[in-house]
Amino acid sequence: MDDGAESISVEKENPVWVQKYIDSPEQQKKLYKRTLLIVVLSQIFGGAGLAAGITVGALLAQDMLGTDSVAGLPMALFTLGSAGAAFLVGRLSQSYGRRPGLATGFLAGGIGALGVIIAAVTSNIFLLFACLFIYGAGTATNLQARYAGTDLAKSTQRATAVSIALVSTTFGAVAGPNLVRVMGNVADSIGVPTLAGPFILAAAAYILAGLVILFFLRPDPFLVAKAIAAAEKTTATISAEPNSREEIEKKRKVKAGITIMVVAQFVMIAIMTMTPVHMGHYGHGLQDVGLVIGFHIGAMFLPSLVTGVLVDKVGRTVMAIASAITLCLAGMLAAFGPAESMFMLHTALILLGIGWNFGLISGTALIVDGTSTDTRAKTQGTSDVLVALSGAAGGAISGIVVSYTSFSTLSIWGAVFSLIIIPVVFWSKRGRKKNE
């Protein structure tokens, strides 16, 4: 009788629209599909937004300051801004749902991009750095959006749900770098510095992504998932004793997932940030840079549909190890391949993107596996803070390393560092049954 009374009281506490999803697996399935559709649409715009900073951020700072030593600073700043935004978006999402969290992050990214344009027009380097920091909110939100697709996914669908969100980013992310020259011409025609042109596209793209989330991500998938989880706990007839072994295994999953993503992000950002500057030293023009970065970003996101299926079917461990090996190979090719060869540059940067993709999806799946709705969004936000900080470190260190040594040295160290993923993965599986 007590269990029944509790169940009835929970029903009364839940709004009708929430109870509809609690009572019907079919409604849950429909909302899961609708959520993926909205996330896909926002990611298309968001992908175009993030591409601007990646492609010309370093070049803009280099042009305004006249030195290579700070070329990695823009990437460091907007990845540092991404860290702060990831923390805030995670906390907002945990308390109020995905919709307010993601919409706020995307809109902030759009405002930051507008500020970068103003900084370029006024030649204000301090404003440039401040707005690049704010612009990083869009990057963080673009990554955080991948979690929205997993809120109502089954355990065997989680990596695939992440991959659907990521692959949709490809459309905007690949188009962005390849519109560098077009947006540069647009900027010239309205009296804006050429290198600020891509940020015009970024501002519009991030603002549109925020509006899509704000108006269409209803009902909120995370709030529904929390209500479903709460109802399942309340109506359970047997109160299961906490299993300390399971808790330890879950914590290991979360730690391993975070480490995989942190290492992949650090290596990818460090090598990618200095590639445009490295190409410039060997006579490659802005169009060549846009093409290489475009292929790189495509490789970051386009394999996602296949990667997600592999992570769900083959396992998180195998794909994490594949991430380490691919990143290592990319670093070695970047270090020892002839810089004059566009083919070699394309190959190295494509492998760099694929390695990052493997690491991000396998790491994300491990974090979702190891958390419950009580703390999931908050933990996801915290993990993305660490990922963003690692990217900031990679961006800042890359310019210094290349300035004092060479791009080859940076790439070799990146290749070696990526192999840390392998022992971490085996540590996370220690004493655990083979279940993934």
**Please, are residues 151 and 221 in contact by the beta-carbon 8 Å criterion?**
yes
Return mean pLDDT, the chain. 84
Per-residue pLDDT band at 1 (split at 50, 70, 90): very low
User: Has residue 436 been placed in a domain?
Assistant: no
Q: Choose between 146 and 14: higher pLDDT.
A: 146
Please report, for the domain that includes residue 146, its CATH number. 1.20.1250.20
Is 74 domain-assigned? yes
pLDDT surpasses 60 at 431:
no
pLDDT of residue 35: 92
Is 371 contained in some domain? Answer: yes
pLDDT tens for each residue of 27-50 = 888 999 999 999 999 988 888 887
Tokens of 114: 């507008």
The confidence score (pLDDT) of residue 238 equals 45
Of 358, 349, 370, 341, nearest to 429 (Cα)? 370
Q: Is the pLDDT of residue 8 over 50?
A: no
pLDDT at 239 over 80: no
Tokens of 244: 């300390």
pLDDT in tens, 177-228: 677 778 888 888 888 888 888 888 889 999 999 999 999 998 999 988 888 8
Does residue 113 contact residue 199 with C-beta atoms inside 8 Å? Answer: yes
Given pLDDT bands bounded at 50, 70 and 90, which one contains residue 237?
A: very low
pLDDT over threshold 70, residue 169:
yes
Pick the closest to residue 395 from 24, 8, 98, 133 (CA basis): 133
Q: What is the DSSP string of 125-193?
A: HHHHHHHHHHHHHHHHHHHHHHHHTTTT--TTTHHHHHHHHHHHHHHHHHHHHHTHHHHHHHHHHTT--
Q: Confidence band (pLDDT; 50, 70, 90) for 69?
A: low
Residue 409 confidence (pLDDT):
93
Residue 242 has pLDDT above 60, yes or no: no
Asked, for residue 143, whether it belongs to a domain, the answer is yes
Residue 305's domain comprises: 2-234+243-428
pLDDT of residue 364: 92
Is residue 433 over pLDDT 60? no
Three-state SS for 61-77 is HHHHHCCCCCCCHHHHH
Quick check: is 282 in a domain? Answer: yes
CB distance 391 to 275 below 8 Å: no
Residue 400 has pLDDT above 90, yes or no: no
Amino acid at 69: S
Q: Provide the domain count of the chain.
A: 1
Is the pLDDT at 240 greater than 70, yes or no? no
Q: Cα Rg for the chain, rounded, in angstroms?
A: 22
Measure the CA–CA gap between 123 and 193, rounded to whole angstroms.
Answer: 9
Least confident of 80-84, 206-210, 285-289, 387-391: 285-289
Residue type, 289: V
Residue 372 lies in a domain: yes
Q: Percentage of the chain surpassing pLDDT 90?
A: 34
pLDDT tens string 350-369? 999 999 999 999 999 999 88
Tens digit of pLDDT for each residue in 265-318? 999 999 998 888 888 777 787 778 878 887 888 888 888 879 999 999 999 999
Distance CA 413, CA 387 (A): 19
435 lies in some domain: no
Residue 433 lies in a domain: no
